[in-house]
Structure formats: C-alpha cells, structure tokens
A and B are shown apart, each in its own frame.
Chain A
Amino acid sequence: MRNIRFKTTATLAGGIATLAAAPALAAGAEISVTIPQLKVAEYHRPYVAIWIEPKAAGAVRNVAVWYDVDMKNNEGTKWLRDIRGWWRKTGRTLTMPVNGVSGATKAPGTHKIASPLAGLAPGSYELVVEAAREVGGREVVRVPFSWPAKAPATAKAAGTAELGAVSIALKP
C-alpha cells in the first residue's frame, strides 16, 4: 500500500502552505494542474511530476514532484519509476527528495504553483505534467509555450483520464 491513509497535521500544513504560496508574480509563470475526482473502489492520490523541457535538446527544469514523500526509509521512491516519462527524462538522475521540488501527493482538485522561471533562456518550451496512479492508469499532458512572453498569455491543455486541465499563465 503506497499511501498513508491518515495524514499527519504536519503534512497537511505543508500542503496548505504550498497552495497559499501562489500570489501574483512580478514575472514568471503560474502553473495550474487539476487532478480529477475519480469514482473507483480503491483510490490512491496519483504520483505527479511537473517539468519544463525545451523543444530543442537541453536541460530539463523540474517544477514539482508529488509522491509519498513521508514514508519511512524513503519507501515512496519505489514507485517514482512509474512516472516513466519523467523518470527517463530527468528523474533517474535525481536523488529524491529535492528541496523546492518534492512534495506530498495532492487530493483531487486544482493546484497552483508559482514559478518565476528565473534564468530560463528564450525559446520554445513544453510544460509537461505526468500522473501515474496506483492500481490506476498513467497520463501525460503537454502544454507548449514560448518564453519570454511579450504580453500576458495563458496556454492550456487537458488530460482525459488521470489529469484534468493543465495551464501555464505567463507574465512578461
């Protein structure tokens, strides 16, 4: 069993803190990811990886990885390879947890992440969100965007099964 059924207060507080840390940005992006409510007999919050990759070859920027970060002996890392696109692209070279990237799994709903995109070179990118759910499926949603944005712009896409709407709102 991957998830701890009864979350501690500390984890909840951490979760709320992340949600609250999304005020209006001077410049950068606000990323929004919706995890759908699913009617299944055995529901587990999905493992989700969010990253930005350049269209051309180049380094990938990890934004967030939501997994069972609180399990003892780091046991939650056993299933990171199930986020298989992320794992192959960048995850397998990382030592988790990574400060500022790792976080607990999220409940169904819309979650926002502010990202200043500091130091992101001009070019074409894709925001990639991948979700893998225990005893469930796996889905990838890609949202192309250009950086820097000359005017505020929002790019969006949506999954059909394990992910809902995904968007990136850019501020120049």
Chain B
Amino acid sequence: MRRLLTLAPVLAALASAAFVVAPAQAHRQWMLPSATVLSGENVWVTVDAAVSNDLFYFEHVPMRLEGIVATAPDGTPAKIENGATGKYRSVFDVQLTQKGTYKIASVNDGVFAGYKLNGEQKRWRGKAEEFASAIPAGATDVNVSQVAGRNEIYVTNGAPTETVRKATGRGLELVSGTHPNDLVSGEEATFGFALDGKPAANIEVTVVPGGIRYRDQLNEMKLKTDAEGNLKVTWPEAGMYWLEAEFSDDKTSVPQAKQRRVSYVTTLEVLAP
C-alpha cells in the first residue's frame, strides 16, 4: 500500500524548527529572560529559549537561534551574543547598551506546501516572497498553508519606553496598554493586541503561570480580547507567566494558501508589590 505523507510528521519536524506550526495541544515555545527590569551601567540579559511542556523548565527541544532578532529602544538592531544550542535549550546574551525597552523576537512569516509530483509526495517551506517559483509544473494535490507566528519578549534598562512596541502590521502583536515590564501582582494590566496592524477583536488568549511542576492545577487563565483588541489580566501572584494566542484565519498573503495559522507567544514577568 502506498504510504501517503500525512501532515503530522511535517508538523513534528517543523515544531523543532523556529516555525510555530504545532496545534494548540502540543509543546509550548518560550523565551525566558534572566530579568525584565534592570538597572546599572553595564547591563546584560541572558535568555533561555526552548520548546517544552513545562513552564519554565526545558525538557524537549531547544528553540533555534536563527531568526531571533533583538531591537534596541531606538529601533536599531541589537546583537545576539554568546549563542549556544544544547540538548534542551538555546541560550544567548543581549547587552542593553541603551536605556529603555528592548524587544527580542522570533518572527515566522512562512508558507508551507505539500504536493504530488510524479507520484511522489513532496513538501516545501519558505518565505511568502519565494513561493511564486516553489511549486513545479505538473504538481497535483497542492495544499498550501501560511504561518504568521511571533514569539517575543521585552526587557527594560531603566525607565520603560514604547518605540519597540509599535505594530509592524503583520500577524498578532502586543502593541499598547500596560507596559509588559511594569507588571505587579494584584494589579490589573490591560494589554492591547493588533492583528495585521488593526485592533485584534475577540481573540482567545491563554495565560499560564510558571512553576507548573510544583503544583497540581495548571491554573491557566482563559481570556479574550474585547472589540477593541484589549485584554484585562489581574495577576494572582508574582512570577513568570506564559501568554499565548493561536487561531486560524483566511487572511493569507499568498493566494494559493487557503489558511493562515496565526500565533503569538510572550513571557511576562510579574513582580511583587
């Protein structure tokens, strides 16, 4: 019997890459900074990057360093230094030479396709701009899908600034409201999300506190943005939190793609009052 290449192994292979294509039940991808609120003259952060089940222990595969970009408060690129990829996690440093808020992000604007050529099942993945020449003539059963994934964290040296939070206009982004490095337990934060540059209304968002290993209940918060794209969260306690939103829509940039998988992940640090 001819074995058909199903989508599952494709997803598994891609899950270990920078692409966030796995369905909601699969592992969590995250970056964990050594601190988000920093002071001093020679300021550095070290970031762990992994794909795992646990929050925030690394026990599955590392996140790939390629595609992780740091942006300084003035909008210019900042260096990712001392990068290393081990068995369960990648780790890297960023020197915060400017005062203000830095963004460290891994953005995946990808297309993947499956097709049949001469009886063989083939697959392709790459950027939307490269797709025009991707599928050879004579291919059949072409199945194209797009991904707009963003995994980002914010860290601040000194007083928080807003420049790096401006929307890029593609995918789901956290662009307004309470500054992500100004979070305190017991206080309510309001986060403003944008989808392709416009308010992201009625998006389901999941927030999970770290430290899962040491308790029975997951304690996840299932929230939803309102019609203006705003989300309210009151933090039960201090610690690191994982926030994720994931859904499919049909707003693809490649016309052959019927579906786009949109995802957003961030790690938020909540301090005690």
Which residues of A line the B interface, CB within 8 A? 73-75, 77-81, 84-85, 87-88, 91-93
Chain A residues, Cβ within 8 Å of B182: 88
Q: List 28 A-B contacts (CB under 8 A).
A: A73-B41, A73-B42, A74-B40, A74-B41, A75-B40, A77-B40, A77-B41, A78-B39, A78-B40, A78-B41, A78-B43, A79-B40, A80-B39, A81-B37, A81-B40, A84-B37, A85-B273, A87-B37, A88-B37, A88-B182, A88-B184, A88-B271, A91-B39, A92-B37, A92-B159, A92-B160, A93-B158, A93-B159
A76's closest neighbor in chain B, by CB? B40
A93 to B41, CA, bound (A): 14
Known interface pairs A73-B41, A81-B39; 9 further A-B residue pairs with C-beta atoms within 8 A, sorted by A's residue number: A75-B40, A75-B41, A77-B40, A78-B39, A78-B43, A81-B35, A81-B37, A87-B39, A92-B160
> B243 near A: Cβ within 8 Å?
no
Distance of A62 from chain B, by nearest CB (Å): 15
Verify B39–A92 contact, CB threshold 8 A.
yes
Verify B158–A92 contact, CB threshold 8 A.
yes
B interface bracket (residues with beta carbon within 8 Å of A): 10 to 19
Chain B interface mostly = loop
A77 to B184, CA, bound (A): 22
Verify B41–A81 contact, CB threshold 8 A.
no
A85's closest neighbor in chain B, by CB? B273
B160's closest neighbor in chain A, by CB? A92
A92's closest neighbor in chain B, by CB? B159
Q: Select which of A80, A85, A88, A93 is within 8 A of B40 by beta carbon.
A: A80
Distance of B236 from chain A, by nearest CB (Å): 18
A81's closest neighbor in chain B, by CB? B39
Distance of A49 from chain B, by nearest CB (Å): 12
A42 to B158, CA, bound (A): 29
A72 to B39, CA, bound (A): 16
A87 to B184, CA, bound (A): 13
> B38 near A: Cβ within 8 Å?
yes
Which residues of B line the A interface, CB within 8 A? 35, 37-43, 158-160, 182, 184, 271-273
Chain A residues, Cβ within 8 Å of B273: 85
A91 to B160, CA, bound (A): 12
Verify A77–B159 contact, CB threshold 8 A.
no
A75 to B182, CA, bound (A): 24
A80's closest neighbor in chain B, by CB? B39
Distance of B113 from chain A, by nearest CB (Å): 48
Chain A residues, Cβ within 8 Å of B43: 78
A84 to B273, CA, bound (A): 8
Verify A84–B271 contact, CB threshold 8 A.
yes
Distance of B154 from chain A, by nearest CB (Å): 14
- Given A88-B182, A88-B184: A81 in contact with B38 (beta carbons within 8 A): yes
Distance of A117 from chain B, by nearest CB (Å): 26
Chain A residues, Cβ within 8 Å of B40: 74-75, 77-81
Verify A79–B39 contact, CB threshold 8 A.
yes
Chain B residues, Cβ within 8 Å of A87: 37, 39
Most buried by A among B39, B159, B160, B182: B39
A88 to B40, CA, bound (A): 15
A87 to B38, CA, bound (A): 10
A71's closest neighbor in chain B, by CB? B41
Chain B residues, Cβ within 8 Å of A75: 40-42
Chain B residues, Cβ within 8 Å of A84: 37, 271-272
